[in-house]
Chain A
Amino acid sequence: MASAQVVVRRLGWTLIWAGLLVFAFLAYQLFVTDLLNSRTQAAARADLEAELADRRLDLPVPAAVAVETTVAEVEPDETADPQEAQEPDPPLVTFLPEDPGEEGAAFGRIVIEAIEVDDVVFAGVSRDTLKKGPGHMVRTPVPGQPGNAVVSGHRTTYGRPFYALDELEHGDRIEIETALGTHVFAVRRTLVVAPTDVWVTDPIDGVWLTLTTCHPRFSAAERLIVQAELVAGPNLEYANLVGETEPLREEPT
């Protein structure tokens, strides 16, 4: 009888300690990580203007680039003088380039008014970088540059910058400020993919932004993807000329 009491007592204490451990884990994930992130974000926000000013000094020189556009084929005019029929020159637009920053460095700010996001963005998507805030996948173009810029962020911990990303609707604005200026994107589609579906980071014609985060909330089983197209910013003229002409890919080919 006495040994049964001992077993029950030990079991009780084990459960109490297990409960305390779970409670401590949740407190750490939901509050301590937010606290750590808010300190990092505050420091980064204070230094951001100086950081952007430094980056502006290193910006590559703007260049006028020729853009090849797709034109509809027309029947050849038999009566036209072949000497006069020349290929039209491709249009020239001013293109403003910008290079990715060093891994871990703050390089811009993301503002999504619809879901109350206002965070400093860092270069890189390593574990340590994403603890500081949303991170830009450096092998993709900087937001505002031609192609598909990818920015990832935590959903439920470390400041939870993309907590409400699923609430974005078609047309909602996403602003990203970089050394080049403010690039405004409009949401075009939202989808859920596997964490290994890297095809969502593939280049897209035009100037695009892809936001990625964990899905569903409190699980890393899938990824929520929001893709947005440039609608205002320094490279809008360029984007309009090289923009996407075919539907976005639904799955890998």
Chain B
Amino acid sequence: MRRIWEALPGPTPVKAFVATVGVIVALVVLVVLFEWAGDFLDSGGAIG
């Protein structure tokens, strides 16, 4: 984690902003991935 933080560009406020955006994007990607994979567990039961 520390290495990732140190690799971020700019001063601390910029690093914090970039890190926040990165976390949000990662969470959105995770949810989209989970939703897609969730269809294999339970697609809702509709026919056709």
Contacts and interface: CB of A to CB of B under 8 A. Distances in A.
Contacts of A196: 47-48
Contacts, number: 76
Contacts of A125: 44, 46
Q: How large is the interface on B (under 10, 10 to 19, 20 to 34, 35 or more residues)?
A: 10 to 19
Nearest to B31: A28
B45 A130 contact: yes
Interface residues of A, number: 36
Contacts of A156: 41-42
Contact of B46 (A29, A157, A212): A212
A127 interface: yes
B17 interface: no
A25 interface: yes
Interface in B26-44: 30-31, 34, 37-44
A157 B41 contact: yes
A158 B38 CA distance: 11
A213 interface: yes
B47 A150 contact: yes
Nearest to B41: A218
Contacts of B38: 28-29, 33, 157
A108 interface: no
B47 to A, nearest CB: 5
Interface of B: 30-31, 34, 37-48
